[in-house]
Every structure is written in structure tokens, then in C-alpha cells.
A and B are shown apart, each in its own frame.
Chain A
Amino acid sequence: MRLSSLGDSALVVRIAPDEAAGDAATIEALRAAVAGLATANLPGVVDVAAASATVTLVFDPTMTSVGTLGPLVEHLLRARSERPAPAPRAVSLPVCYGGAHGPDLDAVAEHTGLDPNTVIRLHTNARYRVAMIGFLPGFPYLVGLPAALAMPRLAEPRMQVPAGAVGIAGDRTGVYPLASPGGWRIIGRTPLPLFRPDRDPPTLLAAGDIVRFTPIDAAAFDRLATEAGR
């Protein structure tokens, strides 16, 4: 555990080295640290969240400081180190692969030397974990992508990727919760809303969740999208 400051209003706690980001042990350690620090209601702290292998506490610099928070944070994390975080949830995401919903499926097949159906089979047979939520509200960075499917981002990001687009970037897979510019290789699309601001919690997924993808056809996509009000 190493503490550092980020500007004058954030304290960063390193939980693991960057090389260990995405490891199951790191994901668990981050979840435990976030849970412990967020429920402590530290005075002046307005937000606690994990990113890669660190946890950041954002605070009001007129109410507290790195010097005040540092020892409290160290104490809380030591005291909690024995206790596991709550059990992860398992979520299944229906995905319509290829065609208009997955414009990069053929490019991924070509790059990986697999046929498109094998890409879909490998992508749906794997079990993923949400390493972190970032970039956009509810955007899950998923680890567990089969090594055969790893592929670099697009050299030129698309101006617009639709909400629900399922993509690959490097050894991660992810889902765009909102329409957004984006450089991930889009192989399919889920009709389920990942960002739902009128619900509590406001995102379908949280760090630590276990995710599986199940293939659906275009008709099922349309039906589910209508049900979801998209």
C-alpha cells in the first residue's frame, strides 16, 4: 500500500502494481478497499473509486487534506484487510453478433485467423470479470478475453458507436453504455441498457461482477430492445 496525492483534492492508494491490474486478487483487494473506505464516511471525502490497481479518494480540500486522511486510510485498510468484500454478482448479457450490430466481427476474424463463428463461440464461452468501471457511465472493462481474440484498437476511432456496442481492445472486452466516439473493435451489440440513471444502482454492472455473453439473433435483439425501451 502506497499513498500519493493527485492535485490538491485527491488521495491515491496503490493496492497492487500496475502489472497485477485485472488479476482476480487485485479486483478483490480493490473491492474490499473501496467498500471499507466508502462506508467509513471520512469527513470531507466526497467520492471513493477504483481505477486499474489504485483507489482514489476525492475530497473537499477546504475540509481535509492528504496529511489528515493518509493515516486514517492506512488504518482502515489494515483493519479491514482480513474481511472479504461482498460476493460478486453474475450477469448474463444477450448479444447479437456481426452484421450491422457487429461491424468489426469480420476484421477480428481476419486478424485472429479464425472464422467469425469461432470468434463468437470463443467470446461467448468465456467467463469475464468487471475489472473496473470507467470512461463512460457504466462502461465495464472486462478481463478474461481468450488470448486468441486479442486485437489492437482502431487506428482512427469511430465518431459514433451506438449504446450497447460490444467491443474488443487489446486483451479487454467492454460494452458501450452510451452512444459515444470510440476506438474498440465492435463485434456485436446488447439490447440491455447498461446505464439507467432512473434506477438504483444507476448502472447494470459494478466492479467485480461476473459477466457472460449469450448469442441472440437480430429478431431477439429487436424484441429485447423494444422491451428495454431503447
Chain B
Amino acid sequence: MIHVDRAAGLTTVQDLGRPGHRGRGIGAGGAADHLALVTANMLVGNASAAAALEITLVGPTLSVDRPISIALAGADLGMRIDGIACPPWRAFDLPAHGCIDFTGRRAGCRAILAVAGGIDVAPVLGSRATDLRAGIGGVAGRALRAGDVLPVGPPPAWRPPAGPALATDLRSHGGGTVRFIAGPEADWFTAAARDTFATSAYTLTPESDRMGCRLAGPPLPRAAPRDMLSQTVLPGTVQVPPGGMPIVLLADAPVTGGYPRIGVVITVDLPIVAQTMPGDSLRFHEVGLDEAVALCRERRRALARLQVGLSCGETRR
């Protein structure tokens, strides 16, 4: 059991999401930063799909009654165990009655806190992920509150060693450049607008949330006014409403959208978007589909290497 002694900011239970229900209007949702989720789960010996806590900007105060392994990945929100600083991308042992708190953000936007055995709330439509808009998954479909008690699943049969970690250059940080593939309506924009999108810095605004990152920067005018039907959108899709300010959709993206899609951020760079906080800026660099696919496969190999590294140094529980 994990006790939520104090809630702050937005902390939700997330896993890899619930794909398979788009036709019913239900998006996959799940952790905004899949890389952080998968890595944190690996570090405690969980399956990648195990549910963890996604902590946004400000962390809660948590305690446990029994000893448990935990791992942190993604943002550095100043986590401490019983007052001792614990950097992300590592696993730690939490003693009985141990207490976790957060002293303040240092880097990134969303931290994943995985526990050995996973957060064992009841799955809804095949997933434990919290969908705040639909009010399903996690704890009663909402963010954590003080007084919540989170069940933890049975610990995995093996315990990875403390040593290996994801290569530092793969760790997700916010801000900087993300790569995108041109979207289906890219040619609805003027050539100058497409050039502006690919060369300018855009700042994340405070209205950003798990549905989408709203950006401010040079506007992106359309070549001609045109009506658009509702079309498929996914996490990473960059939509441009009539005001010309792009929105990068995130994990809780709706399944369809009615604004032209100038681009789609490639899968391996979605963690960068998820870790960018309001006030930070992003730049967009166009790549081709082949490059995006090659990068996906490379990322998968890097995660496989980490898994092998952890398995080779396995220690019995």
C-alpha cells in the first residue's frame, strides 16, 4: 500500500494506455512520457505495461508501510526518501514506513514513479491509466488526493541490480528540438508558414495539459480559408486552429480533431514534448518517415540493451 499523505500539483496513475477503443471515441491515453514509464518499470523488474504514478511539476508526499523498491524516471522534481535526495533514472529501496517527498522541480515536467509490483488499481477497459476527461481509470478517474491509499501488486519474482541505467543521451528532457513528419494538411498553409514552423522557436503556454501543449510564437497562416471535417488525430499531431498558434497533442488527445494538421511529432521525440514545461521553448525539424521508423527501432534496441543489462545482473528477491 502507498499512502498519499499530501497531494500537490497533478499526480495520476498511468500505464501504457488503453488502445483499441478509438472507434468508440476513446483515445489510448496513458503516460505522457512512455520512455520514462517503460524505463522506470524495467528498473524495478516490472513488465513495461505496469501502472505507475505520473507526477506533474510538483510532487506529493507519500509513505509506505512495507519495504518496497521504487524507481524514478523523467523529470527531476527533487525527490527525497526520508530526507535523502534521489535523482531520476535509478531504482531505490524504500524501507518500511519510508517517506517520499519532493523539494522542487529541477528539470523536466513529468516524473514517473514506478513501484515493484505496479500500482494495482482496478483496470477499466483494459488499462489502469487515468483519463481525467472521461473520469475513468486510476483512483476513481481523478488525480490523487491526500488520504488516498494505492494498492500495490505482488512484487516481480526477480529484482534488477542497482547498476545499469538508460544511456544518458536517451533520457528525456524538455525543450530543444523535436522532429516531425509533414501532416496531411501541410499544404493548406502558405510556403512561408511552413518555413516559419520549421525554423522558429515556440514557447509552451500555461494552458498546456495532458491533452495538448499550446504554443505561442510566429503565427502560421493558411493559404486559403477551407472547411475541414473531423479527422484522426494522435498524440504528437500538430493542429493549427484559425488563430495560427500550433497545438501539439499529447497523451490525452481526443480521437478526432477539426483543425488542419501541419505535422506529426515522431514517436521517439514525444517524451521531449511531454517533458517541456510552460515557458520553455520547442523548435520543429522536419524529417522523413524512413528516418522516423529507423529512430523508433534504434530506441527499441536501446531499451532491449537496458533490459538485458538488468537481467544479467539479476539478484534474487
Of B23, B261, B292, B300, the contact of A34 (CB 8 Å cutoff): B23
A7 CB contacts on chain B under 8 angstroms: 181, 183, 234, 236-237, 264-267, 292
B170 within 8 A of A: no
B22–A58 CB distance below 8 A: yes
Whole-angstrom distance between the alpha carbons of A195 and B296 in the complex? 35
Whole-angstrom distance between the alpha carbons of A179 and B299 in the complex? 39
A206–B293 CB distance below 8 A: no
Whole-angstrom distance between the alpha carbons of A207 and B254 in the complex? 17
Number of chain A residues whose Cβ lies closer than 8 Å to a Cβ of chain B: 47
A50 within 8 A of B: yes
Query: Shortest distance in angstroms between A107's beta carbon and chain B's nearest beta carbon?
Result: 22
Whole-angstrom distance between the alpha carbons of A6 and B253 in the complex? 15
B267–A8 CB distance below 8 A: yes
A-B contacts counted at CB < 8 A amount to 134
Query: Shortest distance in angstroms between A7's beta carbon and chain B's nearest beta carbon?
Result: 3
B167 within 8 A of A: no
B199 within 8 A of A: no
Complex: chain B residue closest to A63, CB-CB: B300
Q: Which of A68-101 contact B (CB under 8 A)?
A: none
Whole-angstrom distance between the alpha carbons of A177 and B265 in the complex? 30
A56 CB contacts on chain B under 8 angstroms: 22, 232
B231 within 8 A of A: yes
B176 CB contacts on chain A under 8 angstroms: none
B306 CB contacts on chain A under 8 angstroms: none
Of B28, B183, B266, B267, the contact of A47 (CB 8 Å cutoff): B28
A24 within 8 A of B: no
A134–B289 CB distance below 8 A: no
Q: Which of B184, B232, B292 has the most C-beta atoms of chain A within 10 angstroms of its own C-beta? A: B232
A214 CB contacts on chain B under 8 angstroms: none
A138 CB contacts on chain B under 8 angstroms: 24-26
Complex: chain A residue closest to B292, CB-CB: A8
Whole-angstrom distance between the alpha carbons of A195 and B266 in the complex? 31
B181 CB contacts on chain A under 8 angstroms: 5, 7-8
Whole-angstrom distance between the alpha carbons of A211 and B193 in the complex? 43
B24–A51 CB distance below 8 A: no
**Binding-face segment, A117-125, A184-192, A197-205, A222-230:** A197-205
Q: Which of B254-270 contact A (CB under 8 A)?
A: 254-256, 261, 264-267
Whole-angstrom distance between the alpha carbons of A141 and B256 in the complex? 11
B232–A5 CB distance below 8 A: no
Of B20, B230, B261, the contact of A134 (CB 8 Å cutoff): B230
Complex: chain A residue closest to B261, CB-CB: A6
A9 CB contacts on chain B under 8 angstroms: 234, 267
Of A8, A54, A197, A203, the contact of B266 (CB 8 Å cutoff): A8
A15 within 8 A of B: no
B229 within 8 A of A: yes
Whole-angstrom distance between the alpha carbons of A189 and B296 in the complex? 46
Whole-angstrom distance between the alpha carbons of A207 and B24 in the complex? 8
A178–B289 CB distance below 8 A: no
Q: Mark A104-122, 1 if CB is under 8 A from B, else 0.
A: 0000000000000000000
Q: Which of B30-47 contact A (CB under 8 A)?
A: none
Kindly list the 4 A-B residue pairs having the minimum CB-CB distance in the complex, ordered from nearest: A7-B264, A134-B256, A49-B22, A8-B292
8 contacts between A and B (CB under 8 A): A47-B21, A51-B230, A51-B255, A65-B293, A138-B25, A178-B133, A180-B133, A206-B24
